[in-house]
């Protein structure tokens, strides 16, 4: 059993990650800014503002073997309107964690969660860790900065691993992401007897991995990953928006008037993007276990109960 600190533990991914870690024998402490999770009993929870170094220093970092750093601003779109907020937040909280460890004289292994969206999409597929990256958004700039911070702190004695997850989906994901948005709109239409269904570009194909596979990959990386290395987490396949929507409509047994909404289109939207998980598979044995149909069914079940 190892002691693991999970930042951003109250988020979509954090909740699944804590379940996976606990089920596999690790002792977990979650950090977040929400009081509502203090009643959890399968892990310890601390309300900490990671932007505040004094609050971070209240953590007894000497007790942790691993830090899985999920916390931060994660949506690409809003980063264009708030670039300074994204840069300051995502870089400050990571730096505060490392600096607090230095002040306490400890060097836990850090798993820094970056993003597969850093890769330039107009290169040979599948995208591997050797692919070129680009600063395509303030969000991407902040993630590149987080990776560079990890490299800097490795020079100061830390072991650091970088994870680059591609799109991940699953039960519990909020709005603003394709699968959850579709499921919510389907059940909202059913409830309000609406027939018009608004969509963006349904032809673009992306690499989707179930969040439960993603978090299992994070656990395996802290257990078996190599210091200083970067690993993709992805399915190695791509699916169009239309294929996801059709699967959902079939499960709900409904048919709508599909209407293209110009506001849902992106100014630049590449036709096909998917990654390679060969490196993490060779290092840890990880590969996706959940197929897309299972993920979609679980997402539909989740939203049917909420709408």
- Over residues 147-184, the pLDDT tens digits come to 999 999 999 999 999 999 999 999 999 998 999 999 99
Mark whether 110 and 252 lie in a shared domain.
no
Q: Please state the rounded mean pLDDT for residues 65-93.
A: 94
Asked if residue 181 is part of any domain, the answer here is yes
Residue 141 pLDDT > 90, yes or no? yes
Asked if residue 43 is part of any domain, the answer here is yes
Evaluate if pTM is beyond 0.85: yes
Tell me how far apart the alpha carbons of residues 263 and 191 are, in angstroms, rounded to a whole number.
Answer: 24
Higher pLDDT: 114 or 38? It is: 114
State residue 15's pLDDT score: 93
Mean of the per-residue pLDDT values of the chain: 95
Per DSSP, the three-state class of 231 is strand
**Residue in this structure with the two tokens 């439960």, named with its chain if needed:** 212
State residue 171's pLDDT score: 97
**Residue in this structure with the two tokens 């750093």, named with its chain if needed:** 69
- Cβ neighbors of 133 (< 8 A, separation 6 or more) are 118, 119, 120, 140, 144
Give residue-wise pLDDT tens across range 235-292: 999 999 999 999 999 999 999 999 998 887 765 568 999 999 999 999 999 999 999 9
Mark whether 77 and 221 lie in a shared domain.
yes
Count the domains in the chain: 2
| Helices 211-224 & 12-23 angle (0-180, nearest 10) | 50
Q: Please state the rounded mean pLDDT for residues 86-97.
A: 97
Pairing, β 44-47 against β 27-32: parallel
- Per-residue confidence band for 61, with pLDDT thresholds at 50, 70 and 90: very high
Beta bridge partners of 29: 5, 44
- Cβ neighbors of 31 (< 8 A, separation 6 or more) are 5, 6, 7, 8, 9, 45, 46, 47, 48, 50, 59, 71
Token duo for residue 205: 């194909």
Give residue-wise pLDDT tens across range 125-140: 999 999 999 999 999 9
Distances 6 to 2, 26, 107, 229 between C-alpha atoms, Å: 13, 12, 15, 20
Mark whether 80 and 216 lie in a shared domain.
yes
Mark whether 144 and 194 lie in a shared domain.
no
10 Å Cβ neighbour count for 209? 27
10 Å Cβ neighbour count for 242? 15
State residue 40's pLDDT score: 56
Mark whether 160 and 252 lie in a shared domain.
no
State residue 38's pLDDT score: 47
Mark whether 47 and 63 lie in a shared domain.
yes
Mark whether 32 and 180 lie in a shared domain.
no
Asked if residue 285 is part of any domain, the answer here is no
Mark whether 244 and 129 lie in a shared domain.
no
**Residue in this structure with the two tokens 């009643």, named with its chain if needed:** 39
Angle formed at CA 160 by CA 135 and CA 285, multiple of 5 degrees: 95
Domain of residue 161, CATH code: 3.40.50.720
Q: Report how far Cα 35 is from the mean position of its chain's Cα atoms.
A: 22
In degrees and rounded to multiples of 5, residue 231 shows phi and psi of -130, 130
Mark whether 186 and 201 lie in a shared domain.
yes
- Cβ neighbors of 119 (< 8 A, separation 6 or more) are 127, 131, 132, 133, 134, 164, 273, 275
Structural domain boundaries enclosing 246: 174-206+238-273+291-304
Percent of the chain with pLDDT over 90: 89
CA dihedral sign, ordered 244, 246, 252, 254? positive
Q: Please state the rounded mean pLDDT for residues 19-43.
A: 84
Number of residues that this document lists for the chain: 307
Mark whether 61 and 189 lie in a shared domain.
no
Asked if residue 147 is part of any domain, the answer here is yes
Give residue-wise pLDDT tens across range 10-28: 999 999 999 999 999 999 9
Tell me how far apart the alpha carbons of residues 73 and 247 are, in angstroms, rounded to a whole number.
Answer: 30
Asked if residue 282 is part of any domain, the answer here is no
State residue 1's pLDDT score: 81
**Environment class of 18 (CB within 10 Å of its CB; exposed 0-12, middle 13-18, buried 19+):** buried
Domain of residue 193, CATH code: 3.90.25.10
Give residue-wise pLDDT tens across range 191-236: 999 999 999 999 999 999 999 999 999 999 999 999 999 999 999 9
Of the candidates 31, 65, 74, 29, which has an alpha carbon nearest to the alpha carbon of residue 50? 31
Mark whether 146 and 178 lie in a shared domain.
no
């Amino acid at each position: 059993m190892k002691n693991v600190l999970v930042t951003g533990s109250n988020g979509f991914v954090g909740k699944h990650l804590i379940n996976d870690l606990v089920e596999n024998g690790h002792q977990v402490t979650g950090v977040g800014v929400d009081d509502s999770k203090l009643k959890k009993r399968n892990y310890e929870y601390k309300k900490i503002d990671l932007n505040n170094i004094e609050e971070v220093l209240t953590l007894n970092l000497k007790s942790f073997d691993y830090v899985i750093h999920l916390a931060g601003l994660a949506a690409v779109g809003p980063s264009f309107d708030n670039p300074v907020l994204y840069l300051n937040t995502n870089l400050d909280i990571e730096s505060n964690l490392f600096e607090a460890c230095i002040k306490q004289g400890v060097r836990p292994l850090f798993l820094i969660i970056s993003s597969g969206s850093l890769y330039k999409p107009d290169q040979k597929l599948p995208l591997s860790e050797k692919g070129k990256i680009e600063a395509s958004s303030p969000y991407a700039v902040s993630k590149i900065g987080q990776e560079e911070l990890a490299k800097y702190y490795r020079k100061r004695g830390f072991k650091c691993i970088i994870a680059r997850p591609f799109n991940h989906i699953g039960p519990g994901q909020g709005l603003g992401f394709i699968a959850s948005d579709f499921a919510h709109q389907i059940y909202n239409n059913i409830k309000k007897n609406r027939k018009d269904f608004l969509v963006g570009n349904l032809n673009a194909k992306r690499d989707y991995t179930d969040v439960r596979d993603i978090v299992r990959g994070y656990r395996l990386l802290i257990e078996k990953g190599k210091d200083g290395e970067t690993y993709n987490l992805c399915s190695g396949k791509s699916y169009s928006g239309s294929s996801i929507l059709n699967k959902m409509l079939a499960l709900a047994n409904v048919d709508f008037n599909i209407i293209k909404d110009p506001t849902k289109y992106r100014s630049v939207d590449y036709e096909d993007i998917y990654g390679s998980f060969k490196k993490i598979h060779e290092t840890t044995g990880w590969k996706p276990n959940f197929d897309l149909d299972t993920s979609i069914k679980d997402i539909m079940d989740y939203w049917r109960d909420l709408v």
